[in-house]
Structure formats: C-alpha cells, structure tokens
Amino acid sequence: MNRPLLLVGDLHLGRRPPGLGEVLPELGLEPRELSAVAAWEATVDWAIRREIRAVVLAGDVVEGLRDRFEAFTHLARGTKRLADAGIPLLAVAGNHDGEALPRLADRVPEVILVGRGGRWEIVPIPGRDGEPPVDLLGWSFPAPTVRNDPTEDPSFEEALDRRRESARLIGVVHGDLDAPGSRHAPLSRHRLAGASVDAWFLGHIHVPGTLDGPRPLGYLGSVGALDPGETGVHGPWELELDGGVAVRQIPLSPVRFENVEIELGDHAPAEPDALLASLEGTIRERLGPSLVTAGGHPRLLAVRLTLTGRPQARRAVDEIVRLEPLERLFPGEDPPMVISRITDRTRPAIDLEELAAATTPAGELARLLQALEHDPPRELLEAAERSIGGWKGSGWTGGEIPPPPETVELLRTAARRALLAVLDGRRDEEEP
C-alpha cells in the first residue's frame, strides 16, 4: 500500500477569523474553535486517521514572530501526535515565519525544516518497506523579505543534481508566482515547470489553485479560511503517487466564507422574517451539496449576501439590511449559518423613465438615479468623496482617475432610498 502525503498550505497559527465574535456565543462556540489552531488540529486528526505517510507544511505556519509562543505549544502537541503515529512532519519557512519557524524547529526535534537559510535542499521522505522512494525539494525564507527568485540561487541546480534517479521528486516552496518585483520571493513559472520535478506545491496565496494534470503546479491555499475574502473550500491536500501524481483537497476549515448573489423579483416575501427565511433556504439550496464532504461540514457558514433585482417588497429589504448579524443568524441546521453582511443592489420596481419626466421631487430624484446608473455627475462624486473619504480612508481627489466604485455605489443606494421614501410619502398622502 502506497500511503498518500498530506500537503498543508498557509496555517498562520495565531490568527482567528475576524467579525464573528458576537454570533459565536449564541452557537456555544469559542473563537478558538474557528481559528488556525482548530484547522491544524483537524489536519492532524485527519493525517492519523488516514495513516498518512508524511505531513508537509508549505510555509507561514506561524502568523508572526510574536505568535511563536502560542504556536509552539500547538505545533509541538500536533507534531508529537503525528510522531507517535509514525508520521514525520516536514516544513519550509515562509515570509511570515522566516524567523519563527527555524526557532520552533530547533525546539521541536520532530519538525524537519527543509531548505534552512535560503538554500535549496532535498530530503528523503521516510516510507515503509515496499513504498516507492519520494524526495522533497524545498527552500525556506531566510528573512521576511526576499526580492530575488529563489530558483536563481546556485543551490537550486546543485540540489537537482543530487536527486535520486529512483525517487519521485516533489517541490514545496513559499513565494509569489508570476510576480516579478515582489518582495516575497518572486517565482518564475517557467523555471519551476522546466525543472525535473514531478509536482510543485506552493504556499503564500490563500486562494487554492487548480492542482490537476500530470505535473501539478500551484498554490495549496490556506488550510483554514482566515477572513471573509477567503471564500470556498479550504483544507489540506492528499497527494497520491500510485503510478502518477494525483491530488484531492480535504475540506477541513472550521469556517466557510461565501459570497452569494440573489435576485429578488415581484414574488419576494413582503415581511422581513419571511424574506429572511426565503433567503436562507435559497443559500442552503445553492451551497448544500458542497458542504457535505468526507472531512465533515464546517462549524459555521458565514455568507456575504448581495441582493439584486426589482422587488416590490422594498420595506422588507430595507429592514433586513439594517439588522445586526446576530439577527441574521440561523443556528438550526448543520452547519449553522450567519448572513454577516447584506449589500442592497436592488433597483426600484418603478418606471424610472416615466417618473423622470415629471417636474416633482420624485422626478428630480429619478433623473439623478438615471445619471448615477450611467454617467454620474462629477461634482456630485467629488462632494460625496469629500464627505466620506475621511472615514473610509480613500485618497481619490477627482481628476481623470475614475472614482472608487464604493463611492458610486453609496450614492446610488442613497438615491434609491431617497426616491422610495418620497414615493412612500406620496402614497401615504394619497390614501383616504
């Protein structure tokens, strides 16, 4: 039996996903249960349960030097559990832990640091009798900033010259692929692909790549989703070397972030509670199949929702947008779900052209909304930017550079709400 390897991207021990603190007590969860530590513990559990041949960490194991003390405890505990199960742990250092990881490796002898000091190194991966030989080619950050392509270091070719002909060679490195000028080890895809290496697995970018084909080359992604921008599936990857090279991702992240867009029409529920329930059902229907995995479901699903369309139920939309995340928490199913943010991009369910022809306050707002949808008045944009630029940290000052999209969207939202408020007031006056 050829046991698989388990490849682990950016762990960042010491980090916790932000913005979820107020909903966790309602679910009986502690922040630690959604943290990088929780992702690491789940990875160790999986490796032991699957009898993995070796665990390989692709850098940024530790968030930073100040986190090394907390990280030491958890890394040491997990490494000991792996060692007791006969599973070695190999790692390269990234830009976040170029100092911290070597110090930790010196204190935890079971951690095999590969490529210490910025020199390429080939390390044999231990195996049982009958398992094919596998070597790991790796390079570690010697400092937080590296501006040269690591593959241009003479030690790269020297290491390749020492490879065992009978062994499969797997490359692991932390760096910035196809980013010349980066200060985080810019890597040339051409040089990596041209080397006599069976597969390359990279750390640094938290979005997992597409690791397919006979010679995969790409990013592993973060093991646990660390912020709302890290949407989709996250977890370590199993690498099978039976005849060819095959990888599969194991969804072990304790939290899943998603962006969902839903178009509302005439039949959207008019009551806020009913609208929220409808939105929850739609989200679960869309994401449900991808949440059922061999690694189990996440502890929490956090969704950023965008609403579009021309709903009649304007007041229901306005009310749910103003709710706090705690009021948009759905704990009843696995996994529990929170709609952490709602962006309202719906448009009034009215005929803007007809309304814009009227010489009334509503007509004036309709004409403004038309302009904002197509050709926003520059003086209005500049005035809005002066008003909101301070609190959102924008540096736009007009001129030929396009305004920030968020400024335009804020104006559109304000104009839509003002128009609806005027129309609602007019309707109230017309009622007998």
pLDDT in tens, 158-187: 999 999 988 999 999 999 999 999 999 999
- Could you tell me if 46 and 252 are in contact, meaning their C-beta atoms sit under 8 angstroms apart? yes
Residue 368 has pLDDT above 90, yes or no: no
- Cβ neighbors of 309 (< 8 A, separation 6 or more) are 263, 264, 265, 268, 346, 347
Can you give the pLDDT at residue 388? 60
Q: Write out pLDDT tens, residues 275-322.
A: 999 999 999 999 887 776 655 678 999 999 999 998 888 889 999 999
Amino acid at 161: D
- Ramachandran assignment for 168, one of left (phi > 0), alpha (psi -120 to 50 degrees), beta (any other): beta
| pLDDT band, very low/low/confident/very high, at 365 (cuts 50, 70, 90) | confident
Tell me the percentage of the chain whose pLDDT exceeds 70.
Answer: 90
Q: Chain-centre distance of CA 271, in angstroms? A: 34
Task: For residue 47, give both structure tokens.
Answer: 């490796």
State how far the Cα of 378 lies from the Cα of 401, in Å rounded to an integer: 11
Average pLDDT in the chain: 87
Can you give the pLDDT at residue 393? 45
Mean pLDDT for 231-239 is 94
Can you give the pLDDT at residue 253? 94
Can you give the pLDDT at residue 429? 44
Q: Whole-model pTM?
A: 0.80
Strand ranges in 180-245 using DSSP code E only, listed in sequence order: 186-187, 199-203, 217-219, 237-240
Residue 351 has pLDDT above 80, yes or no: no
Instruction: Classify 310 as helix, strand or coil.
Output: coil
Q: 101-110 contacts: CB < 8 A, separation 24 or more?
A: 101/59, 101/61, 101/62, 101/140, 102/140, 103/68, 104/61, 104/62, 104/68, 104/71, 104/72, 104/75, 104/76, 107/72, 107/76, 108/72, 108/75, 108/76, 108/79, 110/79, 110/80, 110/82, 110/83
Residue 264 has pLDDT above 70, yes or no: yes
Instruction: Classify 387 as helix, strand or coil.
Output: helix
How many Cβ atoms from other residues are within 10 Å of residue 266's Cβ? 10
- Could you tell me if 56 and 5 are in contact, meaning their C-beta atoms sit under 8 angstroms apart? yes
Between 154 and 408, the higher pLDDT residue: 154
Between 359 and 379, the higher pLDDT residue: 359
- Cβ neighbors of 301 (< 8 A, separation 6 or more) are 255, 256, 258, 287, 291, 335, 336, 337, 338
